[in-house]
Structure 1
Amino acid sequence: MEKDHKGPRDSKIVYFPNLTAKLVNKGMSALKQKKFKESLNYFQQLIEMEPDHPQGNIGVVLSLVELGQLEDAKVKCDEILKKDIGEYYDVLQIYISILIQLGDYEDVVEILEAVIQEQSLPPQMAENFYQLLYFSRKMAEDESQGLDVKNEIPESVSPTDLNNLESQLKSGDSKQQWQAVQSIEMPDHPEIREQLKRYLTYPDGNPSLKTIVLQMLKDGPAHETVNVHKFGKSIDIHTGDLEDIPEGQFYRLVKKIIVHELEQNNPTLLEMAVQIWDHYLFMVYPFQPEPLNEQLWAVAVLEVAHRLNGLEFDGDELQIAFSLDEQTVEEVVEKILEIERISVKDIGLPDDQPN
């Protein structure tokens, strides 16, 4: 009798139709409302039903992060990567973000070096990974060496190394330029610093890499005036006056409008729109967007985000509300799209790795 009673309980559970979709919706709704314990509960129920459900697994990670349970989020994200659940690079970005919040910079460097060496990165991810690699290397070195050691300047640099660095930086090949900057171990050495300052003036210098070089000079022990050439324009700027990226009131005003328009209706598109805005500023840095009209740039970014996702954007109401001319908006849209085209064409990625 007892055996017969247990039989049905041991049989496969049949869930209500559309229950997974309902749990996804409830979990996402709780996340948006910042009810992170509730969202975690919904997503955990979901992966109990479907262990490899992409949204369920990512939802658990995001909920844990928001609850401040970073170590648990790290373990879960590592598990997702090993099981190859969801979009690999999207999950990897979340994982790297968690590691940085935990201060595990050496792990970040190890992972990104392996990914960059072994795989052909999607253009839209590559620049971000290169930037994260550079800054994580710097943070790891600062932690291991300490401030006093970090600021020591070696007596000399090999002439061969200097010649190779100059040759790579002067080449019109973005890949060689990236490799040259990544290979620098003593960016604060006076001779290397001079090479980097000259690189900022080269017309064929990669604009994204020039931004990273500017940050290297900004973070160095000596502040000085440098000349920067980008997109046919030139500017003299003191490295001590440089802001972090992205930063500044104009950046925040544009982002505020973007968030207001998309936060409730399309949070996924919101994330991409903010990335487009961040990326544009990163590429043109230290120049300011022109003209300095936050409504104009916000509408243009929204238009680009929709276009890149194959979506229609009805911006007429916003243009009327902000008294914007359609032609002016289109001109700014083209500026942003041109940056995206340059980024894909001149990303500086390694060629596909041989098998």
Structure 2
Amino acid sequence: MKKKKWTKKGNVFIFPGTSEELVRKGREALEKKDYDQAVLHLQEALQYPLNEEDDVKMALLLALYESGQYDQALSLCKDMLNEGVGEYVDVLDVYILILMQQKQYEEIYATLSALIEEKQLPEEKRENFEQLLLLSKKMKESPPVEEKSLFAGSESLRERTIILMELVNQNIRPYKKELERLLKDPQTHPFVQTLILNVLKEHGVEQPTEVRKFYFHKQVVPAVLKDAFESDYFQEVIRRLEEQLGQTNPVLLEQARECVKRHFFLLYPFDPEGVSSESWAEASLLLVQSYYEDGWLNEEKLPKEISRSLALIKELDEISSPIM
């Protein structure tokens, strides 16, 4: 029987397979969009010798970016670019994206100018980077924007709604930082966050923007976002309700449809995770039916997936009822 080879790190012997297990956990967390855990596992894995170090560093870079740890992500990008680790253009893409997010236009211009001048970019990427070069030049030469405060903090939800609706036809540059801050603050009312995204979308904002809402978190480009009711998940939920009620109870169908629209407006730009559209449709229908039969809904007997859907739907319903 072949003996396992132990690895020594300092004065500590490392159990065989430790690094591989950390990499596996890190990638699994990355797939589940649990980016903070992915960062922890992958950073620890890189403390040990790895055959796939390049791939692990690229995975860590994506996890750092998605978790909003931009300073660490930039530092890792620079190391990878200098050491030739990973696919150069892929790392450069992330590097420029983070610099754009951080509004470091001088650095973008200096980096891309040198690469284009030295003809170090593949032809298929050249046009894209040339456009980014022009944009960074324009932004770094633009006069600084005088920031203004959009909200005093004492406004009601209705007042904030009116202010944001009026902002669609105004210059948003003085308020952009405040809007971005509200989007990544999970304490901001989700209805307000959706309105902010719609404002940024209407103004064609192409810079990546961080959104934290409920337990969801991701980077979005407002200009390319679908509308709130255009997601495949939403359309599938509506289709299932129409199949079930279209011919038998059109009044209940309309109520269920409006209920689903309220909830998805609050969730936007996210879709429910871990539950099927069928379970969401069924849970939505059960909630609407319970309005008419108080105490009729017996949640203990529901399948787990429908029960999970119903729990989030109830939370959304409590938020949406006074304002929609």
Q: TM-score scaled by structure 1?
A: 0.45
Q: Which protein has greater RCO, CA pairs closer than 8 Å, 6+ apart?
A: 1
Task: Kindly indicate which of the two structures has a greater share of residues assigned to helix.
Answer: 1
Q: TM-score scaled by structure 2?
A: 0.49
